Amino acid sequence: MGALAGAGAGGALGGLVGALVGMGIPEYEAKRYEGKVKDGGILLSVHCDDSEWVKRAKSILEQTGAQDVSSAGEKAVSSHGVDTETAKHTR
């Protein structure tokens, strides 16, 4: 449900910018990414389970020539609106 609400929030902007804004990325950053993609760049999102994997992913990307490598945390709620902490305890 959260992902759908986010998509609605960014939907007015349309395209890549709208999708990124819907995911919580600031509009100015989303527009910058869209410009780079239009110029032939690639936008890549990687999900990591913990900080060690974040460090490894960033290192690999930088070693292979990636630009503008950054990381951000996320809420403890899945894209399907399920509280992941609660779900862990009920399995």
Selection from 34, 7, 35, 32 nearest residue 21 by Cα: 7
Residue-by-residue pLDDT tens, the chain, 91 positions: 444 444 444 445 679 999 989 888 889 999 999 999 999 999 998 889 999 999 999 999 999 999 888 887 765 444 555 445 544 544 4
